[in-house]
Structure 1
Amino acid sequence: MSHNLRLAAAPVYLLLCLLLGGASAAGIWANLLLQLVGLALIAWSLSAQRRTPIDTPARQLIALVVLMLLVVVVQLVPMPPSLWTELGGRERIAAGYRLLGEPLPWLPISLSAGSTLAAGLWLIPAVAMLLLVAKLGAFRLTWLAWTIIAVAVVSAAVGALQVADASWYFYQVTNYGAGVGFFANANHQATLLVSTIPFLSALYLASRGKGGFSKRTSGLLVILIGVLMILLVGLALNGSLAGFGIAIPVIAASIVMLWLGKRKLPGWAAGLMLLATAAALAIPLSTPLGNNLTTTEAKSSQFSRYTTFLVTAKAAQEHLPFGSGLGTFIEIYRTYEDPARVEQTYINRAHSDYLELFLETGLLSVPLLLLFLIWWSWRLSLAWRSDEPDHFARAASIATAAILIHSIVDYPIRTAAISALFAMCCAIMANPRPRSRRGEQSPPEKQARHLSA
C-alpha cells in the first residue's frame, strides 16, 4: 500500500467519525458504517509492518485499551448461581427465578449481555483511531489538525442554519433552537468547537517554526484568526453553559502556547492556569446562570443533573463491586425512579461519564481510570515541560483536558465523533512526532515543501 494512502487513513477516518458519529444512541446505520470500517482499520493496523519501533508511551496506551476491552469480555462470561447471586443488585433477579419456580441459571456480570456487547462495539471507532496513529505510526499532524478545523467550521456554519431553519437538524431527538451542527446534543457540538481551538495555535507555531515570520505565515495567521471567530460565533449560537465555561481556560491555554513558543512552561504559569481553569469552571455552576445541577429548580426536577446524579450514585452503590454491565444504564436507572413521577420522557444517560461508568463497571474500571489519568498527567507534563516541546502534543493535551472535564457533567465520549477525537489526541500525546517514509523525522525544508503544497 502506498505511503500517501497510509498517511491519509487517519484523517479520512477521523473525518467520517466527526461527520457521522454525532449521536450516542441515534444514527444507527451511520455508526454501523463507522464500526465496520473501524474493524477493517484495526485489522490493518495490527497486521501492517511499522517502519519504526513503537514508543513506550504508545505501548502503555495500547495496553490500557486492551485492559479496557478485557473488562467488556469479563462482564460477558457466565458464572454459576453461587457466584452471581452474591453480587450487588442481583437479589431481585434471583427472587424472580424462585418465584417462577425455575432453577437459577448461569449468568454473567452484565444484567443485559446484549447491551454490553453493543456498548463494546461502540468502542470500535476510538480503538481504530488510536491504532492508526499509535500503532501504524503513519500520519501527518497538520493533516489531522486541518481535518478537525474543517469539520468544526462547517459544523458551526450548519449550526447557524439550524438556528434559522429547523429543517437543517440531522437528528429527530436533538436540542432544537440551538446550533448543534453535526451532533444531536448541543453540549457535544460545544466540545468539538472548544477542542479545535488549541490546534489553531499549533498550526501557526508549526508554520512559524519552519520558515520564520513570512508572508505565508502572516497569511495563515489571518486565516486562523478568522476560523477562531467562526468557532466563537458557533459557541454563542450553541448556548452550552459547559461549553462557555471550558472555552475560557482552553483559549487561555492556547494563548499561553503562542506566548511560550518552544519554551517550557514555568511552574508559576502552570499554577495560574490551574487557578484560571477552576474559576472558569465555577461560572457555569453558579446559580444566576440557571444550570440544572445546583439551582433550586434542579433539585425539584426529575430530569435535572442533580436528580440523575443522585439516582445513578444510589444505583451504583447497590451494584458494587462489579457494576450492572456496560450499556445497561437505561434498564437500571428506570428501576430506581420514583414511579409517581414517571412520564413518557425517560433518562437515557447519567450526564456524567464517570458516574455512568461507575454504575456499569463498578470497581472493575476504577484502577484502569486511575492508571490512565496517571499516564495522561505524565504525558501532559512532558508536553509542557520538555526542552523540545511539540506544539501538537500541547494542543492535544488541551483538547483531552477539555473533554475529560466536560465528561464530569455530560457524556461526550459516548459519541463516536468525540471518542475518536479523544483517542487521536491521546495517541498524539503518546507519539507526537510524525514519521517519514524511512522512519526518520523529515528535515525542515521537506516539511516546508509539504506545507507549501
Structure 2
Amino acid sequence: MRKDGAGGTPDLIGGVAAASLLVVAMTFGGGPRGTGDAVVHLLAVPALWLGVTRWRHHHASALQRAVLYLLLGAIALSALQLVPLPATWFSVLPQRGDVISDLIATGSAPAWLPMTLDRWGTVRSLAALATFGASWLLASSLSVDTRERLLQVALVGAAAMALLGFAQAAAGSHSPLRFYDYHHPMGAIGTFANRNHFGDLLAMLLPFSIAFGVMAQRQRVQALVFLWYGLTVVLFLAAALSYSRTGFALACVAVVASVLVLRPVGRPAARTSVKHAAPLLAGLAGVLAVGYYAWDGIVRRLEQDPLEDLRWQYVQHGLTMARAYLPWGSGLGSFRDAYAPFEPVDAMGSTHALHAHNDLLQIGAEAGVPGLLLVLGFVGLLLVAAWISLRRNREQEDPVLGAAAIAVFVPLAHSLVDYPLRTLAIAVVFGLVLAVLTVGSRQQGSV
C-alpha cells in the first residue's frame, strides 16, 4: 500500500473512500434533491476529510493549485451570502427593498438578514460544492493507477445503468424499474430522474471506454479489447435510448472526437491497419445498434419543435431577472423564488422553473459578477489543462489524458442548455475527470 511522502493515509484507504463516494453518487445522486442527495453528502464527509489530510500543496501542480483556489473562492462566496447583514445594508442591495417592505407589512422584519433570498438553497449549494470538491481533492491525491481504477469503476457503474436502461425502455412507461415518478416516462433513464442528465453521464464516460480499449490494444490483451469496445457500443446505444436530443448529440461528438484524438500518431501505416481502426469500428457498431434499436424514437424526438421547449422561456425571463439582481445576485440556490416575479402571468404553466436551464445565466443571476468571474476563470483553466493533456497524449501516448480533455467539456457544453452539474451523480464523476485532467502526465506523482 502506497503512502504519500508526508505520511498520509495509504492509497488503498483513499481509493476505497473515493470508489464508495463514486458508486453511491451514481446510484442515489441522479434524482431531485432529497434523501438521495443527503446520502451522497453524508458519504462525501469522510472523502473530504481524507482529501484534505492527503493534500500536499508543495507537491501539487500549478493546475491543481489553481483549481483549489477557484473552488475555495466559490465556497467563500457561498458562505458570505449566508452572513447576516444589518437590515439597512440588506435593503440597499438590488431588489431587497421590496423584501423589507413585505416583512414590515407582516410585522416580522428582523434586524439582520443574510444576502441570499433562500438561505437553505444556499446551504444546499454549499453542500454540493463541498461534495464536488471532495471528489476532486481525494482523487487528485491518489496514484495514477488508482485514478484509472476509479474511472473503470465509473464505467462498470455506467454499464449497469445502461443495462437497466435497456430494461426500462423495453418495459414501457409504467415499469417499476423507473425510480422517479416525475420526468420522462419513455426510453432509458437509468438511476436518474432526468433523461438528459443520464445521456450526459454516458457521453462523459464514452471517451474513457475508448481510451481503455486503445490501451488494451497496445498491451495486446484481446479479452480487454473486446470488453472496452463492447462497452463503448453499449453506452452509445443507451445514450440513444435515453431519447435525449442533447445527450445523444454530445455522445456522438464525444465518440467522434475520441476516435480522432486517440488514434496513433507518427506511424501512417499503423493508422490504416485493422488493429488501429478498432475505435472506428466500435463507433460504427454503435451506429448500427442505434439504427436498429433506437432510430424510430430518436426521429420522433427530432420531430418535436425545440423552440416550444419551456427552457427558452426560462432563459428569456431569467435574463430579465439576472439584470435586476446585478451585480451581487439573488443568492446561490434562490433561482426558483427569485425568478417567479419576473415571469408574466400569461406565460406561467403547471410546472415551476427550478433552474434556468442555462447554468451560465443562473450563476449570473444567483452569484452576480463575482460568480461569473469565477466561472470565467474556471473555463479558462480547463482550456489550458485540456491543451496540455492533448499535447501529452500525443507525446506520451497516454489515451486517458486525451479522453479526459474531451470528457471534461461534455457537461460544460450541456450546461448551456441544461443544468447537469447540479446533479450529484454527474458532479462527482466530473470531479474525478477533473482530477485526471489537472494531475498531468502518467509520470507525475500524486499530491
TM-score category (smaller protein): 0.7 to 0.9
Q: In structure 1, what is the equivalent of residue 341 of structure 2? A: 335
* Residue type at the aligned position of 2:193: A
Structure 1 residues 260-409: aligned runs within 5 Å: 260=264, 289-290=302-303, 293=306, 295=307, 297-298=308-309, 304-386=310-392, 387-388=395-396, 390-409=398-417
Instruction: Say whether residues 1:10 and 2:14 are aligned partners.
Output: no
Q: In structure 2, what is the equivalent of residue 145 of structure 1? A: 151
Whether contact under 8 Å (1:325, 1:361) holds in the other structure is yes
Over aligned residue pairs, what C-alpha RMSD do you find?
A: 2.7
Q: In structure 2, what is the equivalent of residue 228 of structure 1? A: 232
Per-residue deviation at 1:96?
1.8
Q: In structure 1, what is the equivalent of residue 67 of structure 2? A: 61
Q: In structure 2, what is the equivalent of residue 195 of structure 1? A: 204
Per-residue deviation at 1:70?
0.5
Question: For 1:406 and 1:246, how far apart are their aligned partners in 2?
Answer: 8
Q: Return closer, same or farther for 1:254/1:226 CA change in 2, 3 Å cut-off.
A: same
Q: In structure 2, what is the equivalent of residue 240 of structure 1? A: 244
Q: In structure 1, what is the equivalent of residue 259 of structure 2? A: 255
Question: For 2:406 and 2:256, how far apart are their aligned partners in 1?
Answer: 10
Identity %: 26
Whether contact under 8 Å (1:129, 1:424) holds in the other structure is yes
Per-residue deviation at 1:32?
1.2
Q: In structure 1, what is the equivalent of residue 99 of structure 2? A: 93
* Residue type at the aligned position of 2:383: S
Question: For 1:355 and 1:234, how far apart are their aligned partners in 2?
Answer: 30
Question: For 1:422 and 1:261, how far apart are their aligned partners in 2?
Answer: 28
Question: For 2:179 and 2:48, how far apart are their aligned partners in 1?
Answer: 29
Per-residue deviation at 1:83?
2.7
Per-residue deviation at 1:400?
1.1
Whether contact under 8 Å (1:316, 1:360) holds in the other structure is yes
Question: For 1:8 and 1:104, how far apart are their aligned partners in 2?
Answer: 47
Q: In structure 1, what is the equivalent of residue 291 of structure 2? A: none
Q: Return closer, same or farther for 1:229/1:208 CA change in 2, 3 Å cut-off.
A: closer
Question: For 1:207 and 1:262, how far apart are their aligned partners in 2?
Answer: 19
Whether contact under 8 Å (2:360, 2:372) holds in the other structure is no
**Greater than 4 Å deviation, 4+ residue runs:** 49-52, 100-104, 136-139, 290-293, 433-436
Question: For 1:82 and 1:262, how far apart are their aligned partners in 2?
Answer: 67
Q: Return closer, same or farther for 1:376/1:339 CA change in 2, 3 Å cut-off.
A: same
Per-residue deviation at 1:117?
1.0
Structure 2 SS opposite 1:408: coil
Instruction: Say whether residues 1:31 and 2:37 are aligned partners.
Output: yes
Deviations 1:16-70 (A, max 9, x none): 2111110242xx2222121112112211221247698222211111111111101
Question: For 1:374 and 1:46, how far apart are their aligned partners in 2?
Answer: 25
Question: For 2:102 and 2:421, how far apart are their aligned partners in 1?
Answer: 35
Question: For 1:388 and 1:139, how far apart are their aligned partners in 2?
Answer: 16
Q: Which ranges in structure 1 are unaligned for 5 or more consecutive residues?
A: 264-287, 299-303, 442-453
Deviations 1:321-377 (A, max 9, x none): 111111111111222222345454322221122211111111121111111111111
Q: Return closer, same or farther for 1:385/1:177 CA change in 2, 3 Å cut-off.
A: same
| TM-score relative to the length of structure 1 | 0.82
Q: Return closer, same or farther for 1:94/1:5 CA change in 2, 3 Å cut-off.
A: closer
Q: Return closer, same or farther for 1:372/1:49 CA change in 2, 3 Å cut-off.
A: closer
Per-residue deviation at 1:97?
3.7
Question: For 1:440 and 1:61, how far apart are their aligned partners in 2?
Answer: 15
Instruction: Say whether residues 1:132 and 2:138 are aligned partners.
Output: yes
Structure 2 SS opposite 1:421: helix
Deviations 1:87-126 (A, max 9, x none): 2221311322454567673222201212211221122321
Whether contact under 8 Å (2:44, 2:134) holds in the other structure is yes
Deviations 1:282-339 (A, max 9, x none): xxxxxx935665x3x44xxxxx111111111111111111111111111112222223
Q: Which ranges in structure 2 are unaligned for 5 or more consecutive residues?
A: 1-8, 268-300
Question: For 1:333 and 1:103, how far apart are their aligned partners in 2?
Answer: 22
Instruction: Say whether residues 1:120 and 2:126 are aligned partners.
Output: yes
Instruction: Say whether residues 1:419 and 2:427 are aligned partners.
Output: yes
Q: Name whichever of 11-20 and 184-193 sits farther off.
A: 11-20
Question: For 1:227 and 1:292, how far apart are their aligned partners in 2?
Answer: 33
Whether contact under 8 Å (1:352, 1:408) holds in the other structure is yes
Question: For 2:424 and 2:357, how far apart are their aligned partners in 1?
Answer: 16
Structure 2 SS opposite 1:79: strand
Structure 1 residues 408-447: aligned runs within 5 Å: 408-433=416-441
Question: For 1:82 and 1:50, how far apart are their aligned partners in 2?
Answer: 44
Question: For 2:446 and 2:66, how far apart are their aligned partners in 1?
Answer: 22
Per-residue deviation at 1:139?
5.5
Question: For 2:200 and 2:446, how far apart are their aligned partners in 1?
Answer: 34
Question: For 1:147 and 1:326, how far apart are their aligned partners in 2?
Answer: 32
* Residue type at the aligned position of 2:410: A
